Structure 1
Amino acid sequence: MKMTKNLLQAGVLGLSLLATGVMAAVSADEAAKLGTTLTPMGAEKAGNADGSISAWKPLATNAGAVDAKGFLADPYASEKPLYTITAQNVDQYKDKLSPGQIAMLKRYPDSYKLPVYPTHRGSTVPADVFAAIKENATKTNLVAGGNGLENFTTAVPFPIPKSGVEVIWNHITRYRGGSVTRLVTQATPQTNGSYSLVYFQDQFVFRDKIKGYDPANPGNVLFYFKQKVTAPARLAGTVLLVHETLDQVKEPRKAWVYNAGQRRVRQAPQVSYDGPGTAADGLRTSDNLDMFNGAPDRYDWKLEGKKEMYIASNSYKLDDPKLKYSDIIKAGHINQDLSRYELRRVWHVVATLKPGQRHIYAKRDFYIDEDTWQAAVIDQYDGRDQLWRVSEAHSQDYYNVQVPWYTLEAIYDLQSGRYLALGMKNEEKKAYDFGFSASISDFQPAALRQEGVR
């Protein structure tokens, strides 16, 4: 792995901080780099030495057309791949791929490939979010051994991270528009490519966007999440409600499920860690959603540093409303002809299960995009230290509202040959709807029964 000297020093310092239990925000002098040599989000503004990674240049809100359903035009539609990474030439590029990506190329040598395009670093967020991130840099601290935050506001508590767990908190708390409602689908294909779809209606609201939020008394809730299954008929009407907390050790995540068949609301403590994902056919855990979510307390987090890596970015082609889901879902993996990879800088964090703790993943390797703090690739290992699952996120910038987020999340099971794809909306009646208004009463268990009416 190639790391710059200053990044290596940051990694070593992070390890020493974890060892001593000192969890400090950065100095004002260091925070002053945000918006100068660093982007306001904490990435390196400059490109790399040979120009294969571009300098940061935020996309304008009018970078492309927005259709009547809210789908975005691809600002880079005219570009062609610079080259394509395949099983035949993978050795030329292996230093910029994860072990999981290499394993996918070898498992599916005739179909899995990485078309590599020019890099465009256009991710940005609203100015007030950038201001909150800079404030976090000098004020936010880890508490409870790294399992919670104090003095945190809005998004990205550690834009200049010193430890692995700080990088993970940046992913967990990153900006996703404040509030959003969306219609998305999930597929879990068999090895021959046959599949059926599960349809979800999601609502997601960060605490500072809830009506009546009091910044002087923010409480411990980070965001509210509600997910309703709308099809197939056998699952329709099931509703999941989650109150995500900042310190999940002190106050564990609260979750409830409304079962339409039983017409009952029940608490759902299994909606955490390696509990089964909703209608996922055993192919993802609860904490696989959004690539990773939830409490970090079961793992030790080691910051390896930063490296250059090929990750799926600017995935507008994959989000094209002209596509059918059958164009995307194929045997073994999604249709890689629709994918777009770019060379980016990522933070590499290794999560190792703590002694005495339980999880089906004994180790997880995280590769997190420096520009957005979104996890781009996660390699997951079983208890035998065998590579098991590879999570890959295809992302895009919702430039019209200045929100970076995922187009599609895929989890590939190398052992079974099956996979899960979540987040497709190509055939739905509208794209993501950001900025919708909600009250705390909308996210209470008492509201679930009405939500679950078929």
Structure 2
Amino acid sequence: MFQKHRMIKATLALALSLAAGSALAAVSAQDAQKLKAALTPFGAERAGNAAGTIPSWEGGITQAPKGYEKGKHHLDPFADDKPLFTITKANLDQYKANLTAGEIALFNSYPDTFQMPVYKSRRSGSAPQWVYDNTFKNATSTKLLEGGTGFADAFGGIPFPIPGNGVEALWNHITRYRGTYVVRRASEAPIQRNGSFALVTSQQEGLFNYYRKDGQFADLKNILFYYLAFVKSPARLAGGAALVHETLDQIKDAREAWIYDAGQRRVRRAPNLAYDTPIAAADGLRTADDTDMFNGAPDRYDWKLLGKKEIYIPYNNYKVASPEVKYADLLKVGHLNPQYTRYELHRVWVVEGTLKPTARHIYSKRVLFLDEDSWGAAVVDQYDSHGELWRVSMAYLKNFYDLPTTWSALDVFHDLQARRYYVQNLDNEEAQTVDFTQPIPEDAYFMPSALRLRGTR
């Protein structure tokens, strides 16, 4: 048996080495120059649309609003904006061409309450110059591994700013810039059909290995990032923790995860934290690979790049994260309170993933709508095994101008059949929001042994 196991491992290693050796080429130097002309540094179209409803990109937000203090909740740079119009069930037909199937389904599921206030489109997306510089280098150096399970020779920027297929666009979402070391205290909650909810609050820390400013691809050793979370409340869960080592090529090296049980003072592996494994805190409303709209290995789906569309997506959502808005006022039956949401018309890349005939997953299809200016997924429509629309996920994007970067203020996961939803990253009632200023710890800080030591304090 041992000899057979060694033979299998050797065969897999050979297959992976052959895949790496036959990686797909990046774009030409001539095409890469478009990132300094017709395209933005991230590969979006600089020009606005013909109708004038989407403006040209002029660099996005380049400085914080007056009065902002780093580490505190973000001030709304567009606080004086008023809605241009509001999409409701009554006027839905007028706007269907610029909505996703999931957004339309939310109007049909909650015809009396779900609304989309639409504001002036502001292309606020921006990133540091060093990330733009790395993205330009990546354009001509990045190689997609055969099968799309990973890539090589990219670092510190968007790997495929001029994507040639769906899986390249997906990798842009997975590896988009969100700082290097991130610390936040935030809550999550499933919202029941009657609107009731119970928060789980945790201290979260992430080290994006891929965005170490002085690093390079060879330093990754197949680790994209480290993630650590300690539960603070409720009391029955307090002290518990989770640690994740997120790998780039998860077929070569699977994601590693550990759970710390405060009651037993024991660290144990969580080997199945991937694909459609349900997340306990989400009460069955989110799978492991739903996190961040999509994460992890892309190998169970065939991914197609369907081109671009103009879609009303959540954008510049500073109100949903405002400390002036209490959770009880924000989290309503069926969906967030539309009073605090903001939608804008933006161009998005449409990426469709269809489950392979030989693969297993609770979603037979997922369609991602990626903001062209940041590569963040703003909306994801997910279909069940019968091909029926089942769930729709939304990332309420905003510019974290203290970096800067475009990221989600809140992630919301709707189950259309259960008529419940789940919200992540609530920090309105915390003293501050995401902190990007903490010193970057050593890798040893994110090892299982350190998890045990911290958990016993």
Would you call these one fold, judging by a TM-score over 0.5? yes
Q: Are residue 440 (structure 1) and residue 443 (structure 2) matched?
A: yes
1:99-118 to 2 correspondence within 5 Å? 99-118=101-120
Q: Deviations along 1:155-187, whole A, 9 cap, x unmatched?
A: 310000010000100000000011211111111
198-207 vs 59-68, greater mean Cα deviation: 59-68
In 1, Cα distance between the equivalents of 2:282 and 2:72? 27
Q: Hey, what does 1:192 align to over in structure 2?
A: 194
Q: Hey, what does 2:398 align to over in structure 1?
A: 396
The one-letter code matched in structure 1 to 2:198 is: S
Q: Hey, what does 1:42 align to over in structure 2?
A: 43
49-58 vs 307-316, greater mean Cα deviation: 49-58
Q: Deviations along 1:193-232, whole A, 9 cap, x unmatched?
A: 0111011211111115669967644311111111111111
Choose which of 357, 360, 365 in structure 2 pairs with 1:358. 360
In 1, Cα distance between the equivalents of 2:213 and 2:319? 36
Q: Are residue 431 (structure 1) and residue 433 (structure 2) matched?
A: yes
Q: Are residue 386 (structure 1) and residue 385 (structure 2) matched?
A: no
Name the SS for the 1:66 alignment partner.
coil
Q: Is the 8 A contact 2:348 2:372 kept in 1?
A: yes
Q: Hey, what does 1:131 align to over in structure 2?
A: 133
Deviation at 1:288, TM superposition (A): 1.0
Name the SS for the 2:137 alignment partner.
helix
Deviation at 1:50, TM superposition (A): 1.2
Q: Are residue 281 (structure 1) and residue 283 (structure 2) matched?
A: yes
Q: Is the 8 A contact 1:178 1:435 kept in 2?
A: no
Q: Hey, what does 1:449 align to over in structure 2?
A: 452
Q: Are residues 163 and 278 of structure 1, via their aligned partners in 2, closer, same or farther at CA, if it must alter by over 3 Å?
A: same
Q: Deviations along 1:25-47, whole A, 9 cap, x unmatched?
A: 00000000102111101100111
Q: Is the 8 A contact 1:137 1:157 kept in 2?
A: yes
Name the SS for the 1:395 alignment partner.
strand
109-118 vs 429-438, greater mean Cα deviation: 429-438
Deviation at 1:63, TM superposition (A): 3.3
Q: Deviations along 1:87-131, whole A, 9 cap, x unmatched?
A: 111111111101110000011011101100000001111000000
5+ residue gaps, structure 1, are: 1-20
Q: Is the 8 A contact 1:239 1:451 kept in 2?
A: no
Choose which of 256, 259, 274 in structure 2 pairs with 1:254. 256
The one-letter code matched in structure 1 to 2:33 is: A
Deviation at 1:453, TM superposition (A): 3.9
In 1, Cα distance between the equivalents of 2:329 and 2:96? 29
1:311-326 to 2 correspondence within 5 Å? 311-326=313-328
126-135 vs 210-219, greater mean Cα deviation: 210-219
Q: Deviations along 1:235-285, whole A, 9 cap, x unmatched?
A: 111111111111110111111111112221111112111112241111101
Q: Hey, what does 2:13 align to over in structure 1?
A: none
271-280 vs 213-222, greater mean Cα deviation: 213-222
Choose which of 220, 224, 227 in structure 1 pairs with 2:226. 224
275-284 vs 192-201, greater mean Cα deviation: 275-284
Deviation at 1:400, TM superposition (A): 2.4
Q: Is the 8 A contact 1:364 1:380 kept in 2?
A: yes
The one-letter code matched in structure 2 to 1:306 is: K
Deviation at 1:144, TM superposition (A): 3.6
Q: Is the 8 A contact 1:223 1:245 kept in 2?
A: yes
Q: TM-score, normalising length from structure 1? A: 0.93
In 2, Cα distance between the equivalents of 1:172 and 1:210? 16
Q: Is the 8 A contact 1:396 1:406 kept in 2?
A: yes
Q: Are residues 95 and 211 of structure 1, via their aligned partners in 2, closer, same or farther at CA, if it must alter by over 3 Å?
A: closer
Q: Is the 8 A contact 2:209 2:224 kept in 1?
A: yes
In 1, Cα distance between the equivalents of 2:158 and 2:218? 19
Choose which of 176, 183, 189 in structure 2 pairs with 1:174. 176
Q: Are residues 169 and 87 of structure 1, via their aligned partners in 2, closer, same or farther at CA, if it must alter by over 3 Å?
A: same
Name the SS for the 2:332 alignment partner.
coil
213-222 vs 440-449, greater mean Cα deviation: 213-222
1:66-105 to 2 correspondence within 5 Å? 66-67=68-69, 70-105=72-107
In 2, Cα distance between the equivalents of 1:451 and 1:371? 39
Q: Hey, what does 1:12 align to over in structure 2?
A: none
1:286-301 to 2 correspondence within 5 Å? 286-301=288-303
In 2, Cα distance between the equivalents of 1:214 and 1:356? 36
1:201-220 to 2 correspondence within 5 Å? 201-208=203-210, 216-220=218-222
208-217 vs 164-173, greater mean Cα deviation: 208-217
Name the SS for the 2:158 alignment partner.
coil
Q: Is the 8 A contact 1:274 1:287 kept in 2?
A: yes
In 2, Cα distance between the equivalents of 1:109 and 1:115? 15
- Superposed CA RMSD: 1.6
In 1, Cα distance between the equivalents of 2:66 and 2:120? 18
Name the SS for the 2:249 alignment partner.
coil
In 1, Cα distance between the equivalents of 2:218 and 2:249? 18
In 2, Cα distance between the equivalents of 1:453 and 1:367? 43
The one-letter code matched in structure 1 to 2:341 is: S
In 2, Cα distance between the equivalents of 1:91 and 1:382? 25
Q: Is the 8 A contact 1:61 1:401 kept in 2?
A: no
5+ residue gaps, structure 2, are: 1-21
- % identical aligned pairs: 50
Q: Are residue 28 (structure 1) and residue 29 (structure 2) matched?
A: yes
Q: Are residues 253 and 22 of structure 1, via their aligned partners in 2, closer, same or farther at CA, if it must alter by over 3 Å?
A: closer
Aligned residues: 434
Q: Is the 8 A contact 2:86 2:115 kept in 1?
A: yes
The one-letter code matched in structure 1 to 2:240 is: T
